Amino acid sequence: MDTKKTPRNMNIWFILSLICFLLGILVWLPNIIFNYGYSYWLLTFIINPIGIVFGIIGKSKFGIISNAIMTFSFVIFMFIGYLIVAIFGGKP
C-alpha cells in the first residue's frame, strides 16, 4: 500500500473539511430562518472540530479557519447581538 500523499488525497480532505463547514452553517439556519431557539447549533461543537482536523490533514488554511470560526460561532453571534443592543439601546 502506497502511503505517499497525492494531490487527490489532499483534495478529499479539503472536501470533507468543506462539508463540515457547510453542515455547521446548515445547523444554524433553523434559528435564523424561523427566529426560534432550536438547539441544532450545538452540533457545531462536534462537527466543526472534526472539520478542523480534516483541514489540518489536508493542509487547507480555508478549511481550518472556516471551521474554527464556525466552532466559535455562538460566541461571535452573542458578541454581535449584545453589541447591537448596546449601540441602539434596549434590553438583550
Would you give the distance in Å from CA 33 to the centre of its chain? 18
Structural contact between residues 54 and 21, judged by C-beta atoms closer than 8 angstroms: no
Report the pLDDT value the prediction gives residue 37, as an integer from 0 to 100. Answer: 80
Report the pLDDT value the prediction gives residue 9, as an integer from 0 to 100. Answer: 66
- The per-residue pLDDT string of the chain (92 residues; one tens digit each, 9 = 90 and over) reads 455 666 666 689 999 999 999 999 999 998 888 878 888 889 999 999 999 999 999 999 999 999 999 999 999 988 998 898 889 887 75
**pTM summary value:** 0.80
Report the pLDDT value the prediction gives residue 1, as an integer from 0 to 100. Answer: 47
